[in-house]
A = this chain, B = another copy of it.
């Protein structure tokens, strides 16, 4: 029998508890016969009315010092004390599974290295894409491929907001209010709408795909707060939609370019149809071509199901590290905007003549808003785009996903 502990009894933690209780038969089958039992739940709050209140503790050392506990689910979120707890647990020879994207994006390299040295697991499937299988499939099933690029809808809140704008014609503000009303956005929605959440996730995926550390703080991150209903209408006229994309391109020489930015996506792309709070990650490998993983990117049970699957994986492989990790602790230098060019959709108060003078030959789009020009540029490096945009009175500019 495997004894596990849950650290943090919030949304995900209580989901982990529920799944272990309700799907216990399936879990015993999955571990090839070993029952999964919860021995501790760590939380600073009181849960005196809980039917298993005796499991709760406020003292981390109860878990750390109990040799019976082999796997711990860290679902408390935040950097501290999650970092210190995780480090202590791994160093003491316990495996840790996590949904904590911030911790993985910030201290993943160090924690994975400790896990490797101690021959235990630090599994983070639930840190990206909620319940969607992405970390293990990318690491294992696509292992014969050199990953060339990743383009993901990694944040359900922003996808919901954009979808409300696209499908229902709501303004950004109204769509945000709807998201908050439905529990899809926090009262302070900055982490989502400014792209920070997606940034952590693309950093993790970039690290995993490259085997090197991609520091999320190095990733250019633009949210969706500047996207207007007019932009959305232009996109529709171009048979496209606007999505917030976490993007990574891996160059053959080992350099990596990552960015989080709203992008125009053709309706023919499988990413275009990803509605509501769903997430999807499109991975391009040099052998397999495009594969996409789609599902609920957040939520209690979806995320918890990924955590519990990782617990099962840890129980089955307890005797040794599963070695899902990035090997090389060196921080990778992101290729500058110079190296990855995008075409842009641009709206400007300038005339078509002025546009052509700056951008050369452009593809103009029938303007939806009076007294402006709308056009698609050729592919440009980031510095070139910035320089040219500065020469005109730009209303908006949005990258186009190729």
Chain A residues in the interface with B (C-beta under 8 A): 15, 19, 23, 26-27, 29-30, 32, 125, 131-133, 136-137, 140-146, 211, 268, 270, 272-275, 278, 285-296, 299, 301-302, 304-306, 308-309, 312-313, 323, 327
Q: Is the CB of A305 within 8 A of B323?
A: no
* Chain B residues in 8 Å Cβ range of A145: 23, 26, 305
Closest chain B residue, CB of each to CB of A300 = B287
Q: Is the CB of A323 within 8 A of B272?
A: no
* Chain B residues in 8 Å Cβ range of A288: 131-132, 295-296, 301-302, 305-306
CA distance A65 to B195 in the complex (A): 58
Closest chain B residue, CB of each to CB of A305 = B287
A144 touches which of B19, B143, B287, B294 (Cβ 8 Å): B19
9 more A-B residue pairs beyond the given contacts A136-B136, A270-B273, with a C-beta to C-beta distance below 8 A: A26-B143, A32-B323, A141-B309, A142-B309, A289-B296, A289-B301, A290-B296, A291-B293, A292-B295
A137 touches which of B15, B141, B268, B292 (Cβ 8 Å): B141
* Chain B residues in 8 Å Cβ range of A142: 133, 305, 309
A273 touches which of B141, B272, B306 (Cβ 8 Å): B272
CB distance from A140 to the nearest CB of B (A): 6
A289 touches which of B131, B143, B286, B306 (Cβ 8 Å): B131
A327 touches which of B19, B29, B131, B323 (Cβ 8 Å): B29
CA distance A395 to B294 in the complex (A): 37
A133 touches which of B137, B268, B304 (Cβ 8 Å): B137
Closest chain B residue, CB of each to CB of A290 = B295
Q: Is the CB of A301 within 8 A of B274?
A: no
- The A interface, classified by DSSP as helix, strand, loop or mixed, is mixed
Taking the full assembly, how many copies of this chain does it contain?
A: 2
CB distance from A239 to the nearest CB of B (A): 13
Q: Is the CB of B291 within 8 A of A23?
A: no
* Chain B residues in 8 Å Cβ range of A30: 143-144
Q: Is the CB of A27 within 8 A of B144?
A: yes
* Chain B residues in 8 Å Cβ range of A287: 15, 19, 23, 131, 301-302, 304-305, 308
Known: A132-B291, A133-B291, A294-B291. A308 touches B270 (CB 8 A): no
Q: Is the CB of B313 within 8 A of A140?
A: yes
* Chain B residues in 8 Å Cβ range of A309: 140-144
CA distance A137 to B291 in the complex (A): 13
CA distance A270 to B309 in the complex (A): 24
* Chain B residues in 8 Å Cβ range of A302: 287-289
CA distance A299 to B308 in the complex (A): 34
CB distance from A21 to the nearest CB of B (A): 12
* Chain B residues in 8 Å Cβ range of A26: 143-146
CA distance A301 to B290 in the complex (A): 12
CA distance A196 to B121 in the complex (A): 42
* Chain B residues in 8 Å Cβ range of A293: 133, 291-294
CA distance A140 to B141 in the complex (A): 12
* Chain B residues in 8 Å Cβ range of A301: 287-289
A270 touches which of B133, B285, B294 (Cβ 8 Å): B294
Closest chain B residue, CB of each to CB of A145 = B305
Sample (28) of A-B pairs whose CB atoms are under 8 Å apart: A23-B144, A26-B144, A26-B146, A27-B144, A32-B323, A132-B288, A133-B141, A133-B293, A141-B309, A143-B313, A144-B305, A144-B306, A144-B308, A144-B309, A270-B273, A270-B274, A270-B294, A272-B273, A273-B273, A287-B301, A287-B304, A287-B305, A288-B295, A288-B301, A288-B306, A289-B299, A290-B294, A291-B293
